[in-house]
A and B are shown apart, each in its own frame.
Chain A
Amino acid sequence: MARRPDAGAGYAGRPAAVTSHFLRQALLLAALAFVPAIGQAIYFRERVSWQSPIPPSEMVTVRQARAWGADVIWVDARPEEDFTHDHVPGAILLNEDRWNELLPPFLATWSPEKKVVVYCSTQSCNLALEVARRLRNEAQLKDVYVLQGGWEEWLKQKK
């Protein structure tokens, strides 16, 4: 690679050559950047999902949850007004406002073969994560999932 004069001192007014220079330089930089990038990608290859953003293992997509069919107990973690307004058919309200009161009736519907899918609205939403966490920690239920995309995603895929 020929040494070019210091760019700060300026080229001797040859715009055409300068144009090809900067393109070449840009391509060279772009190519050089690949080296550490690929190195880092190899280092991270096991830790990154390359195809689709795999949700953490407690999350479940609407499609997967619906594929489980009758095995699912839907849990609505939202405030009561939202639930009353509309909810997944058959869903049970269980939120932290009235946890102590709402937990026993929910547990009455539960059995070990069931999969619990908790949802809330995407705006609010630590609610579903919190409810799921309490179901796992306190009631020690297995198979508790959080619906990815929440109520909005379910609405979108309702048809």
Chain B
Amino acid sequence: MVELIVGGLFIYAGATKVLDPLQFAIDIDNYKSIPWSIAVRLAFYLPWLEMLCGLALITRRLYLGGLSILSLLISIFIVLSIVAKARGLDISCGCFGHASKYLSFAGHLALNFAILAALLTLFWRARSPQKESS
């Protein structure tokens, strides 16, 4: 059940970015962490990767690969958000389109950590299914 929600979330998030790659490129560029020429290429690539991995979660094909890529992406994103905030950059997330602008920075961070926790839980569950737990 959780993988359906999380997978669906990433498919949705990826889709909003696929629809407007230029805006996503600008959003990436706002973090001022990488040069534009790389940002614009990532802006075309990452959304599709996101959607494919979300699909992997839902269909349970290439499941672990999808989980690990998504975990990596979210972790990097969390780190970049914190760094950007520390540098005083004013970023509007861009991850869920404009729906997310109502969340505070802490709210965003909490959401991302929750997603990361969900991904890691799914990963752990899949790797060690026979581990007895309460």
Residues in A with CB closer than 8 Å to B56 are 25, 29
In the bound complex, do residue B48 and residue A26 qualify as a contact, i.e. CB atoms below 8 Å apart? no
With A21-B64, A52-B36 in contact, do A29 and B22 touch (Cβ < 8 Å)?
no
Docked pose: A30 CA to B72 CA in angstroms: 12
Min distance, Cβ B63 to any Cβ of chain A, angstroms = 4
Neighbour of A8 across the interface among B18, B44, B126, CB < 8 A:
B126
In the complex, residue of chain B having the shortest beta-carbon distance to the beta carbon of A10: B129
| CB-based A-B contact count at 8 angstroms | 94
Neighbour of B40 across the interface among A21, A29, A48, CB < 8 A:
A48
Docked pose: A29 CA to B64 CA in angstroms: 10
Q: How large is the interface on B (under 10, 10 to 19, 20 to 34, 35 or more residues)?
A: 20 to 34
Min distance, Cβ B23 to any Cβ of chain A, angstroms = 11
Q: State which of A36-44, A95-103, A148-156 sits at the interface with chain B.
A: A36-44
Chain B positions near chain A (C-beta within 8 angstroms): 3, 18, 21-22, 25-26, 29, 36-37, 40-41, 44-45, 48-49, 52-53, 56, 60, 62-69, 126-130
Chain A positions near chain B (C-beta within 8 angstroms): 6-11, 13, 15, 18, 21-30, 32-34, 36-38, 40-41, 44, 47-53
What are 15 A-to-B residue pairs whose CB atoms are below 8 Å?
A7-B64, A9-B129, A11-B129, A18-B127, A21-B65, A23-B65, A25-B62, A25-B65, A28-B65, A29-B66, A29-B69, A36-B48, A44-B21, A44-B22, A48-B40
